[in-house]
Amino acid sequence: MTDPKPAPESESAAEPLDSPEVADAPAAADTPETSNTSDTPKTPDASDTPDASDINDAQHPASITHPRMHFDTSEGTFVVELYPERAPSHVENFQQLVHDGFYDGLTFHRVVPGFLVQAGCPHGDGTGGPGYTIDAEFNDMPHEPGTVSMCRTNNPDSAGSQFFVCLDRDNCKHLDGQYTAFGKIVEGYDTIERIAELPLSHPELGVPENAAMILHAMEVYTDEPN
């Protein structure tokens, strides 16, 4: 998959090796997954694609709950609040992956200081996914510190399991409307910061010397609107 890359004008964040064209921020290196690989998940049949039919109607936000996922990692814990009114299929997919234990044992294989940290690849190198893809649900949620967004290839409809957490608004604002943002870190952002500070063996690629591991992820509770 392609990895999201820092905005062209950004000089502080390391640029992924397969960065896309400068003009279109997201592309080869813009998506948290390595681009042009034979392991990139193929688009599944409709029967294999997660169904968002069980999610409450996005046109009625007052009736929507906000699931929260608790992640226990080797660097500490954090909680992601999900927004089905923004991206119902992505939220359902993320919930299902958490419930299935998909993320347990996976690492934050890509760390770009001042830009993002990325996880969710079963191969540990940005080339893997769950074996299916879901369609894009681009929305108006800004990519700012703590925003959780889904990786993809140059094909907008290629998200799977890899996700990234933004570290800086200036370096991530070019991702707005180009990647599907679907959640926010609401507890434990300091854990994300620790992951972002881990030493890198290959800074130009964002490869950590000892990648932070997701020990266990689980749904903890939902935020019921008043």
CATH number of the domain to which 113 belongs: 2.40.100.10
Helices (H), 26-162: 88-99
Residue 215 lies in a domain: yes
Residue 29 lies in a domain: no
Total structural domains in the chain? 1
Residue 159 lies in a domain: yes
SS3 162: coil
Domain that holds residue 90: 65-220
Q: Which residues contact 124 (CB under 8 A, 6 or more apart)?
A: 106, 107, 109, 211
SS3 32: coil
Q: φ, ψ for residue 63 (rounded to 5)?
A: -100, 0
Residue 22 lies in a domain: no
Please tell me the pTM assigned to this model: 0.75
Residue 111 lies in a domain: yes
Residue 37 lies in a domain: no
Residue 158 lies in a domain: yes
Residue 186 lies in a domain: yes
Per-residue confidence of the chain (226 residues) as pLDDT tens digits? Answer: 667 766 533 323 333 322 222 223 333 334 444 333 333 333 333 333 334 333 333 333 445 589 999 999 999 999 999 999 999 999 999 999 999 999 999 999 999 999 999 999 999 999 999 999 999 999 999 999 999 999 999 999 999 999 999 999 999 999 999 999 999 999 999 999 999 999 999 999 999 999 999 999 999 976 554 4
